[in-house]
Structure 1
Amino acid sequence: MNEMTKIETTLKDWETDQEVRWCPGCGDYAILKAVQRTLPQLGANPSNTCFISGIGCSSRFPYYMETYGFHTIHGRAPAIATGVKLANPDLDVWLVTGDGDGLSIGGNHMLHVLRRNVNMQIMLFNNEIYGLTKGQASPTSRVGTRSPSTPIGSYDRPANPCAFALGAGARFIGRGFDVSKNLPDVLKAAHAHQGAAFIEIFQNCIVYNKDVFDDFAAPKGAGDRQLWLEHGKPMLFGDPKTGFEKGIALDRDALELKVVDATEENWEEAGVLVHDATNRSVAHMLIEMPFGPFPMALGVLYDDPRPTFEAAVADERARATVGKQANLAKLLGSGQTWTVDDKEGHTTD
């Protein structure tokens, strides 16, 4: 596969003439602008970029990107995107899905695109609700969520998208939220990764699940509730203006994470972990880290590339055709054939 040829574009080059139609205040607007601002910084080419979506509020995305796009069917976007990537490995493929589309009817397809490691960026917008179909509980809805389908409160234990991705074999897992200024950095890291890059984006549904992420995403006091991970940097959180106040360390007896008091000056003495994005075990602990006693882990949680699916397919095709010439007539006449004589003695092969 060829390296992407970088070109100069602006945000306007990625905007379509379509009216953006989400509910006023929807977090999808912020994600759309984040993507449209990020692609010029990557040097991406609209004519070599393809956005593929399933069904849901998030799946309107291809209409608003001045690129190639495909609004597919419920849950099947990963299968379509895999076919697109195999047909043209040089295309820059972005898959857009939601927590319902990607983890309910599409859970099986999502599993296979991740385990196969097809080279694309997968953005899963998680608003913990079915927004398009009027507010039913989704696979990620919290216990107790009241909705038309769970009028006295959901009792299902919610799915953890990043844990699902890690278990399915994803080699890149990132997290961000709609209005975060750091979301473009996560998108850039995902794009740089060769393979299936899974990004969970917490997204506010202004109508059916308003402000459900304010417990960690609200601006006031955010430093105490957000752990932004950066490879090679200590896991510190708190107010950066005061040198942070806390960090994440490993309780070696219990083999689990813990919060410790720490600053930029004494973090080593406090035992604060340095983030190693290639460490799958620590990534799993960060993903499962319970919010409340711990901050929400955001940024690039895991990044450890391996050969991609389409590269393996191309290699297989090359090996299978060595020394062979394409001859359809010979192929059709080979193998098990037979002759049928009709009553007049005419022969048909």
Structure 2
Amino acid sequence: MNEMTSVATTAKDWASDQEVRWCPGCGDYAVLKAVQRTMPDLGLAREKTVFVSGIGCSSRFPYYMETYGFHTIHGRAPAVATGVKLANPELDVWIITGDGDALSIGGNHTMHVLRRNLDCQILLFNNEIYGLTKGQYSPTSRIGTRSPSTPFGSVDRPARPCAFALGSGARFVARGIDVHKNLPDVLKAAHAHKGAAFVEIFQNCVVYNDDVFAPFTAKEFAADRQLWLKHGEKMVFAGGTKGIALDTELLTLKVVAGDDPAVLTHNAQNRAIAHMLVEMPGEGFPVALGVIYDDPAPTFESAVVEQNAAAAAGKTPDLQKLVSKGQTWQVEKEPRAE
């Protein structure tokens, strides 16, 4: 995307006149406010911004943003967003999706928008449940999750959104929490990345999966279970008393004392460590948050634009010549029998 002139706006300018309709206490409210607060800091123009969503609770998002938007069909938001970006590469495109929308029926489309590296921001709201269809288990639901579709507990191994993104070739992967103060910083980093920026947001569903993330989001556990990553800084948590190091024998990560010389310095361009960070086991380990991986590469739409320009160089547009090219014939009107 080409650089745009910065536009002065306020958070209120980004809020539409539509009544926000989510369940009281839903984490979606916090994400919406974080996005609306972040947009003025990015200096974006509302008429140059597009929000595209699929189906699900999170996919009502475009109604509440005073921008252009598409509320599309289940799992196909990446396909529509790709069309938008190719039609007008100057637009700033945001994809809003959920764990069920993006990783179940939309898994194929999510994979391809990531590997193609379309310049867009993908915000995946992960509440580990299907909320809109009344609480069935989703691709990210944990083993043992009881729901209307798994009354005896889910036996599926859950998908890990960030691991899926990295495996699909994503060049930017990050995590945030719906109500955390750092979420706007994560959104800004995603927007600064040129290419497909994938952000998993842990979002609490108060009705069907309340407090599923409490073991690392609740105030009493946050310090000991949250590892906020910053490029060039040590991977420490629990007030600096603990850190993450590499077990060189097993080639896995391990928890060590915060002052241990072996504590890793976060390098957002290290793809191998990024894979380890998103797969860290739960017991005794924190949850990696912030920008986990950021290593830009040429974008899909820039390659398409360049290819089209090269193909058209030195040629004069002639639609009639194009449609007449190759084998043609003319249907003659037969004379009417008298």
Instruction: Establish whether TM, by shorter chain, passes 0.5.
Output: yes
Deviation at 1:339, TM superposition (A): 5.6
Q: In the superposition, relative to structure 1, how do residues 293 and 335 fare at CA in structure 2: closer, same or farther (>3 Å)? A: same
Deviation at 1:331, TM superposition (A): 1.5
1:263-316 residue CA offsets vs partner (Å, 9 max, x unmatched) = xxx34x2x1000000000000000100122210000000000000000000011
Distance 1:256 1:247 in 2: 14
Task: Give the structure-2-normalised TM-score.
Answer: 0.97
The structure 2 residue matched to 1:295, chosen from 282, 286, 290, is 286
Look up the equivalent residue of 1:230 and give its one-letter code. Answer: K
1:45-104 residue CA offsets vs partner (Å, 9 max, x unmatched) = 111111000000000000100111110011000000000000010101000000000100
Look up the equivalent residue of 1:125 and give its one-letter code. Answer: F
1:209-235 residue CA offsets vs partner (Å, 9 max, x unmatched) = 000000101112311100000000000
The structure 1 residue matched to 2:312, chosen from 300, 321, 327, is 321
Match of 1:40 in 2: 40
1:5-50 residue CA offsets vs partner (Å, 9 max, x unmatched) = 2111111101111111000000000000000111111111111111
Match of 1:194 in 2: 194
Q: More deviation in 164-173 or 3-12?
A: 3-12
What SS does the corresponding residue of 1:224 show, helix, strand or coil?
helix
Kindly report structure 1 stretches of 4+ aligned residues shifted beyond 4 Å: 339-344
Task: Map 1:93-108 onto structure 2 (within 5 A).
Answer: 93-108=93-108
Number of residue pairs the alignment of both structures matches: 336
Look up the equivalent residue of 2:22 and give its one-letter code. Answer: W
The structure 2 residue matched to 1:286, chosen from 251, 272, 277, is 277
Match of 2:162 in 1: 162
Q: More deviation in 37-46 or 97-106?
A: 37-46
Distance 2:158 2:313 in 1: 50
Match of 1:55 in 2: 55
What SS does the corresponding residue of 1:221 show, helix, strand or coil?
helix
Distance 2:2 2:275 in 1: 33
Distance 1:180 1:198 in 2: 18
Distance 1:323 1:22 in 2: 54
Look up the equivalent residue of 1:292 and give its one-letter code. Answer: E
1:112-168 residue CA offsets vs partner (Å, 9 max, x unmatched) = 100000000000000000000000000000000000000010000000000000000
Match of 1:14 in 2: 14
Match of 1:23 in 2: 23
What SS does the corresponding residue of 2:82 show, helix, strand or coil?
helix
2:225 equivalent to 1:234: no
- For structure 2, the residue ranges without an aligned partner over 5 or more in a row are none
Look up the equivalent residue of 1:328 and give its one-letter code. Answer: L
Match of 1:272 in 2: 263
Task: Map 1:90-129 onto structure 2 (within 5 A).
Answer: 90-129=90-129
Distance 1:2 1:222 in 2: 39
Q: In the superposition, relative to structure 1, how do residues 40 and 343 fare at CA in structure 2: closer, same or farther (>3 Å)? A: closer
Distance 1:131 1:316 in 2: 42
Distance 1:25 1:149 in 2: 24
Distance 2:334 2:186 in 1: 73
Match of 2:301 in 1: 310
Match of 2:209 in 1: 209
**Identical-residue share of aligned pairs (%):** 71
Match of 2:180 in 1: 180
- For structure 1, the residue ranges without an aligned partner over 5 or more in a row are 345-349
Q: In the superposition, relative to structure 1, how do residues 343 and 296 fare at CA in structure 2: closer, same or farther (>3 Å)? A: closer
Q: In the superposition, relative to structure 1, how do residues 220 and 330 fare at CA in structure 2: closer, same or farther (>3 Å)? A: same
Look up the equivalent residue of 1:102 and give its one-letter code. Answer: A
Q: In the superposition, relative to structure 1, how do residues 323 and 146 fare at CA in structure 2: closer, same or farther (>3 Å)? A: same
Distance 2:228 2:332 in 1: 77
Deviation at 1:341, TM superposition (A): 6.5
Deviation at 1:342, TM superposition (A): 6.9
Look up the equivalent residue of 1:327 and give its one-letter code. Answer: D
What SS does the corresponding residue of 2:219 show, helix, strand or coil?
coil
1:225-259 residue CA offsets vs partner (Å, 9 max, x unmatched) = 000000000000002xxxx2100001111111100
1:161-213 residue CA offsets vs partner (Å, 9 max, x unmatched) = 00000000000000011001111111000000000000000000000000000
Look up the equivalent residue of 2:248 and give its one-letter code. Answer: R
Match of 2:69 in 1: 69
